[in-house]
Amino acid sequence: MFPTWQSFMKCDLKMAKMLANHTQGVGEGFKFVLNKWKPYYFACGEKNRLHCNVGQMKFAIMPMIRPF
- pLDDT at residue 58 in the model: 93
Higher-confidence residue of 29 and 34: namely: 34
Q: Cα(62)–Cα(14) distance, rounded to whole angstroms?
A: 23
Task: Give the model confidence (pLDDT) of 8-18 as tens digits.
Answer: 999 999 999 99
For 2, counting Cβ atoms within 10 Å of its Cβ (0-12 exposed, 13-18 middle, 19+ buried), the class is: buried
Task: Give the model confidence (pLDDT) of 46-57 as tens digits.
Answer: 888 888 988 788
For 42, counting Cβ atoms within 10 Å of its Cβ (0-12 exposed, 13-18 middle, 19+ buried), the class is: middle
Task: Answer whether residue 40 shows pLDDT above 90.
Answer: yes
Mean pLDDT computed over 18-24: 84
Mean pLDDT computed over 29-44: 90
